[in-house]
Each structure stands twice: as structure tokens, then as C-alpha cells.
Amino acid sequence: MKLKIISKESPQVYPLVSKAKSIAESLGYTIDESNPDVVMAIGGDGTLLRAVDFGKPIITVKAGRRSFLMDVEPQEIENILKRLKEGDYYVHEYPLLRVSYGDITKEVFNEAGILYDEPESIIVTALFQETSFTSEGDGILISTPQGSTGWSMSITGVYLGVPNALEISLVSPILSAVKSLIVPRTSIKLVMESKGYDQKARIVADGNVIGHVKPGDVVEITPSRNAIVYRFFKIDPLRGISPWRK
């Protein structure tokens, strides 16, 4: 079996990466950087985002500050590599989104949307399933269920615990009691509206700026494939986001 290992860029993590490679090779795995069968992500949830881009099943090893979605403790690496060969794991599928604008196309694991670029409000309309609404503020984000534990939760305080839904988060809306909407997993168009003068706003995907829009431009966010994670231990995102739980 061919294995690729990616990690958090941290000197504290590099020895763990070397150890994982040594263990994998001793168990008969081939380290393959270009065409692996499985990707091992060693780090936090940000490392998991990078691993998703390879389009291969993922093993997640904790080595980050939060690591809500990582299930393997570093001391369990040899154990889970043996279990992987034996097929002793379960498959967890995470729904991805695709954000499209002009020639830009990007798959996202957590969220995508339109955010202000200058320190002033923007007006964005969201259209989905024959309905629409308009919000003025700092922008709008569309989050997956797994994305709802991150940036979106900081904005709305909402945890989306069902698989076939999306959260529309209104970022600092002006004169609105509504901060988020839970909608079916569907295609959503975001349109930047004109305030009567030139403006631009950022297109964001998983925390990165991937382009800019101006009034009248449309960003389309649609359901995409599922990312596959091989799980060896149960995870509980609520335990990470609610530290008072016992």
C-alpha cells in the first residue's frame, strides 16, 4: 500500500513525521509522494484541509492546538497502520462544496463566501431553491456541517450536527436579528449588490482569498464530492467546542 504523509509546518512535528515514515516502511508500506493510496495528515484541522486536496482517503493524526476532527493520538500510529492493512476501520464521509467564479474553481471543506475588502459594509444577496434574501454587513459565508465548528461558529455560535445541510452565516449584519440560516445541501448563488459606487469584495474559501468580486458579480457555491476519512477511534466535535463537558 502506498502512503503519503503531510504535516503541520512545525519543528515540533517533524520528528513525529520521521517516526511515522519509519514505522510505515517497517510494516511494508511504500512512501509515495505523487500517487498514494492513502494520505496521513499529521497536525490539526488545517492539515486535514490540505490533505483533502489530494482526493484520496485520509488518516488523521493529532498534532495541532485544537484538532477537532483528528482521531489518532501519536502513540497509536503503529497500531492504526496495522489496523489499516487489516481493514479494521470505518469510513467517515465529509461533504465538500465547490465555489465557482469566472475561471476560478475551488473545492472547499469548511466554508466559502464573499467578505468585505475595505473597512465598509457590503451588500450581498443569496439565492437558493427559488428564494432569496439580501444582507448588508461584512459579508456572507456558506458552511458545511464540519465547517460549522470553525469560523462559522465564531460568527454565529451555531453547531450544524446534521450531514445534509448547509449553514448560511451573515457576518456582522446591520439591523438584522438573524445571524444564520440552516438550509438543505443545495446550490447557492451569492451576488454582490451595488451601493451606487465602485466597491470590491473578497472571495474566500477555507480561510484563503481566491479572488475578488465587484457589484453585479455572481459567485456560485454548489455541492461537490465527499472527502473520505478512515476513522479508527470515535470523535466528538462537541467535546472540543464545549470544554465544560465531562
Q: Which residues are catalytic?
A: 45
Cell of 72: 489518532
Contacts of 105 (CB under 8 A, 6+ apart): 98, 99
DSSP per-residue string spanning 178-244: --EEEEES--EEEEEEP-SS---EEEEETTEEEEEE-TT-EEEEEEEEEEEEEESS---HHHHH-TT
CB-based contact 170:180 (threshold 8 Å): yes
Distance of CA 39 to the CA centre of its chain: 16
